[in-house]
Structure 1
Amino acid sequence: MTLVTEQTVAPVPGGTGRYTVEVGRALARSAPADWQIRGLSAWHRNIGPARISGIAGPRRVPVPRRALTALWEWGLPPRVPGDVVHATTPLAPTARHLRRGALVVTVHDAVPFTHPELLTARGAAWHRRMIARAARTADAVVVPTEAVRRVLSSFVDLDTRVAVIGEGVAEAFLEPVTPRSVSRVRDRLGLPERYLVAVGTLEPRKGLSTIIEALPLLPQDVHLAVVGPSGWGDAAPRASERVHLLGRLSDADLAAVVAGAAVSVHASREEGFGLPLVEAMAVGTPVLHSDIPVFGEVAEHAGATFAVDDAAGLAAEASRLLSSPADRVAAVAAGRTVATRHRWEDTAARLWSLYADLTASFGT
């Protein structure tokens, strides 16, 4: 099979880049004996980020990213080999003559349809076209939550070819994070004893401005650590005495920063899954999230909630978690239980089952 790994070398890989890497690793660990996985990307000088353990390649097609995006949208080569082609984003060879076997496309969220203002105009339009095309031509569309399936189905016809397959917790968050490692990373990054953490690409839909607005309503010794690369728009805050912009971190440092936080805050206006949410639960950090349906489904009511864009509500719930040991203990216990139900091995097992069904129907 061929796994399209192009998102890993995108200018801002984001959560979909992380999904590509984690899915690739999990598929490679559990591949049936008679299957081989090859990666595929556009032409890049540095292909390092697209190299995934256990996956051959990646094979670089002889065109850069922007050209590949246009060619596949127009139904033009390059063709993609493999009994199954899995595109981990809507950048996919949807035209039937561009592949031999079955096509699987992962669609991570319905934001281009429901909240196009939270993306660039060009990006929203491209995603709408490619998602609609995948819905018509792919042999299976994978979505991460029932909430995404339900909303997306109101915009495109997914019929019975949609598969709801969740996501998992990265290995760094499954290993014990010791107090010593937390203290060492915190000191190196200049973080105080008490801080909130917000993880994600800095873009408008993440709702970071709501967290910034809530910060003055919290005790002065509570700071905010912001982890993630800049995306687009004016979502990136300015660093200040209480706001620490950490940028991208290694998985080990990220796990330590999240484990050391007093509360992990997720203020998104729309999401498809929410990997940072379940990763925070896995390391025992209380979670506070906006009350969007996706977060409710993934967190299973183990997280405290506030209304979208409600800074006062966010501050009130954060204050409760900061001041009540009993509430913190309950939140940590509930979160750890939820996190055990999100494993990349389970994701891979369901994908291999899907691939087997598709190849059987193709007679390959």
Structure 2
Amino acid sequence: MTTLRVIADDAVARTSAQQSSRPRINGLTRYASELTRALIDTAPPECDVELIVSRRPRAELDEFGRQFPGAAGTTPVSMPHGALASAWANGVRVAAGTGILHAPSLFAPLVRGDQHVARQLVVTVHDTIAWTHPNSLEPGVAAWTRRMARRAAKHADAIVVPSHAVAAELAEHIDVGERIRVIPGATSASIVLPADPEVRASWLKLPERFVLASGSMDPRSGIDALIEAAALPEFQDVPVLIIGEDAWRGRRITEAAMLAGLPEGRVRPLGAVSDSDLALLLKRAEAFVAPSYAEGFGLMALEALAFGTPLVHSDAPALVELASGAGYPVVRYNAGSSYAQRLATAVGSVLAGNADAEALATLGRDRAKAFSWRDSGARVWQLHAEL
């Protein structure tokens, strides 16, 4: 029996003291959990998947077993998450299982030197924000990411990235040779409409017409430009609903909307939403806007494509690659006009019916079919077989 050991810390959202009843599922958590399930489902004959996690209470270990049925088991290592992240970043040899090891992030034992270290190790780099937009990350995260990426360049047998755009960008920052493999993510089967869509729509106070986006006042997200765009005539006074928290390091979406001259409620942050509410929002939005200046993949944009929601996106390379002509691209940098004006023109074209929304919806659904977690899982298994 061949065992693929997956470092699964990121696959279950850690619950903060302030959010004990409802941990937020971020992009990394969704990626890690979906990929882990796909690896279990696509395991070749005589192969299985064991979950490796940092030290944690028994109740949390049991949670892994419930969320990932079919796994061969869950094995904790000797240190808690934070201490383990620091130890591995400093090259301390803390074993996480031998044999074949797969990490859905850079949280991995990127060391070499004794029999207690995996003989085959693959890690994942999701974007290059730690180099291009380090201030977008929490303090210390950018430095940790860059350090771990350098260790990956020395010790990893292969590095998985979600797009060719990230592959090209990462090669500008670290020497990875021929070890990069592009294996994208996909949409989640859990994002389905609620049983009571009208009740949920009423509870969410959804307007009859609205544009949907996701992000914060982090400058990288481009939400500031979208708010400016919403104040322009082309937007036809259609409200903008934004998945994400209002505040980012003292900057608030609601305050930015007020300063742009927009009436209260024209731009509304929704906070974190459930999978079923996300499905409802995507289904009813007249357009989904992905205005970010930098992305690694664009999972929310892909989810919009899957629901047939017309996609307006920036010309960030990863988003252009993802949409592949199924969206409405907007140039980020152009001396001839502001980014906000170009966003307003693009969104306004969709709202006014000048852009063929039906054609965009069909193209989007077809494009989304090119991505599947089963395919991604099978490609990870194939990668390890080739190594």
Q: Which has the higher helix share?
A: 1
Task: For 1:244 and 1:82, locate their aligned partners in 2 and report how far apart those are by CA, in whole Å.
Answer: 49
Aligned to 1:70: 86
Tell me which residue corresponds to 1:9: 13
SS in 2 for 1:345: helix
Greater Rg by CA: 2
Give the superposition deviation at 1:136. 1.4
Q: 1:113-161: per-residue Cα shift (whole Å, max 9, x none)? A: 2222333452211111111111211011001111111111111111111
TM norm structure 2: 0.84
| C-alpha distance 49-88 of structure 1, shift in aligned 2 (>3 A) | farther
Amino acid paired to 2:236: P
Unpaired segments ≥5 residues, structure 2 = 17-23, 256-263, 333-337
* Structure 1 gaps, min length 5: 359-364
Alignment counterpart, residue 96 of structure 2, candidates 77, 80, 101: 80
Match of 1:247 among 266, 271, 274: 271
In the TM superposition, 1:58-207 aligns within 5 A as 58-96=74-112, 97=114, 99-173=117-191, 177=193, 181-200=196-215, 203-207=218-222
Tell me whether 180-189 or 241-250 shows the greater mean CA deviation: 180-189
Q: Name which of structure 1's ranges 100-109 and 28-37 shifts more when overlaid on structure 2.
A: 28-37
Aligned partner of residue 356 in structure 2, secondary structure: helix
Q: Identity over the aligned pairs, expressed in percent?
A: 34
Q: Distance in 2 between matches of 1:122 and 1:79?
A: 24
The structural deviation recorded for 1:103 is: 0.5
Q: TM-score, normalised by structure 1?
A: 0.89
Q: Distance in 1 between matches of 2:254 and 2:33?
A: 30
CA separation of 1:182 and 1:29: change in aligned 2, threshold 3 A:
same
Task: Please list, as runs of the form range in 1=range in 2, the aligned pairs for 1:310-325 lying within 5 A after superposition.
Answer: 310-324=339-353
Paired residues, what number? 354
Kindly state the Cα deviation for residue 82 of structure 1 after the two structures are TM-superposed.
Answer: 4.2
Distance 1:127 1:17 in 2: 17
Give yes or no for contact 2:246–2:253 (8 Å, CA) kept in 1: no
Distance 1:124 1:49, change over 3 A: farther
Q: Given the superposition, is the C-alpha separation of residues 274 and 135 from structure 1 closer, same or farther in structure 2, using an over 3 Å criterion?
A: same
User: Partner residue of 2:46?
Assistant: 34
Counterpart-to-counterpart distance in 2, 1:139 and 1:318: 44
| Paired residues for 1:205-354 under 5 Å | 205-217=220-232, 218-220=235-237, 222-228=238-244, 233-234=249-250, 236-238=252-254, 240-308=264-332, 310-324=339-353, 327-354=356-383
Please report how far the alpha carbon of residue 5 of structure 1 lies from its aligned counterpart in structure 2 after TM superposition: 1.8
Is 2:41 the partner of 1:25?
no
Distance 2:91 2:293 in 1: 33
Q: Is the 8 A contact 1:209 1:235 kept in 2?
A: no
Cα pair 1:305 1:314 within 8 Å, conserved = no
How far, CA to CA, are the matches of 2:89 and 2:200 in structure 1? 44
